[in-house]
Amino acid sequence: MGANDGMPYEAPVHEVTVKSFWIDEREVTVTEFSKFVSATGYKTDAEKFGWSGVFNMKTGEWEKVDGANWRHPDGTDSQPKPDEPVCQISWDDALAYAKWAGKRLPTEAEWEYAARGGLVGKTYAWGDELRPNGKLVANWWQGTFPNNNT
């Protein structure tokens, strides 16, 4: 776990033993989160604050956007797709959902283990090459940041 060539807080690489655990195969969708909110009346942190951070593709910066929350991820005029992963929720919001669903959030070690898909000691979840055979295998900004994402 960790990295010696990344951010200082990731170092040093160290061995961690992870006991067996369950983790969902995919992210919680907007529809699933909506059922939780309907059943409990829960208000997310962004809803309480009245704003959330939204990445501005033109400036390449995170900006405070009034009205941004899980129902309006990019601000009041935006709508999420029901089958997409829910966003604009905090760790506390995710924890509340997990408890309601009879689950728990993974530890950092469990998350890293699951994200690696069983690979041990590799730089990336798919191996050591950033672009295997020249192909992108993860979300990746292409073009000139932040002006032109091709």
In whole angstroms, give the CA distance from residue 69 to residue 86.
Answer: 10
Model pLDDT, residue 29: 98
b/e for 15-39, b at 16 or more Cβ within 10 A?
A: eeeeeeeeeeeeebbbebbeebbee
Q: What is the pLDDT of residues 96-121, one digit of tens each?
A: 999 999 999 999 999 988 988 878 87
Chain mean position to CA 87: 8
- For residue 77 the two structure tokens come to 């005029």
Task: Please tell me the pTM assigned to this model.
Answer: 0.82
Q: What is the model's pLDDT at position 132?
A: 94
| Largest interatomic CA distance in the chain | 49
Domain boundaries of the chain, sorted by first residue = 26-105
Other residues' Cβ atoms within 10 Å of the Cβ of residue 139: 5
For residue 72, the model assigns a pLDDT of 98
The answer on pLDDT for 69 being more than 90 is yes
Whether omega for the bond prior to residue 146 falls within 30 degrees of 0, making it cis, is yes
Q: Over the stretch 2-38, which tens digit does the pLDDT of each residue have? A: 888 888 888 898 899 999 999 999 999 999 999 999 9
Angle (CA) 95-98-100 rounded to 5° is: 110
- For the stretch 30-68, pLDDT in tens is 999 999 999 999 999 999 999 999 988 888 789 999 999
